[in-house]
Structure formats: structure tokens, C-alpha cells
């Protein structure tokens, strides 16, 4: 039986205009291509690192 993995919902709330290219690429990597778009991701260190990089552009909720 597999262990239950935690999930988090990430929603883009701000524009990436005039942001560094690496932050824009991180949003695309998270699957957040438009303001208001949400994605559900596994809660792991890789995703947490990506979210931390663009935390001023996204909202995080438990999924």
C-alpha cells in the first residue's frame, strides 16, 4: 500500500511582466501560464523550492 502524499494547490495571482526570466520560467515550470490559473502539485522539496522563488506571484493552499 502506498503512503498518502500531501498535495498543495498553487494559484498565480500576479503578472510576471518586468520579472527576471528565471522567475518567468519557474511559473511556466509550475504550469501557471495565466493569472488565476491553479495547479495541484505534490508537496516535495523541489516544488517547494520553485514556489519559494516566485512566492510573491502565487498563492498556496492545501489541496
Those residues of the chain that have pLDDT short of 70 are 1-4
pTM: 0.90
Averaged pLDDT score across all residues of the chain: 94
At the topology level of CATH, where does 15-62 sit?
Answer: Ribosomal Protein L30; Chain: A, (3.30.1390)
Contacts of 62 (CB under 8 A, 6+ apart): 6, 7, 8, 9
In this predicted model, what pLDDT tens digit does every residue of 19-28 receive, in sequence order?
999 999 999 9
Q: Where are the domains of the chain?
A: 15-62
Q: What pLDDT shows up at residue 63? A: 85
Amino acid at each position: 500500500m502506498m503512503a498518502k502524499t500531501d498535495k498543495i494547490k498553487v494559484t498565480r495571482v500576479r503578472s510576471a511582466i518586468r520579472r527576471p526570466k528565471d522567475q518567468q520560467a519557474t511559473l511556466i515550470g509550475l504550469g501557471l501560464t495565466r493569472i488565476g490559473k491553479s495547479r495541484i502539485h505534490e508537496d516535495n522539496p523541489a516544488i517547494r523550492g520553485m514556489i519559494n522563488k516566485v512566492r510573491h506571484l502565487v498563492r498556496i493552499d492545501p489541496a
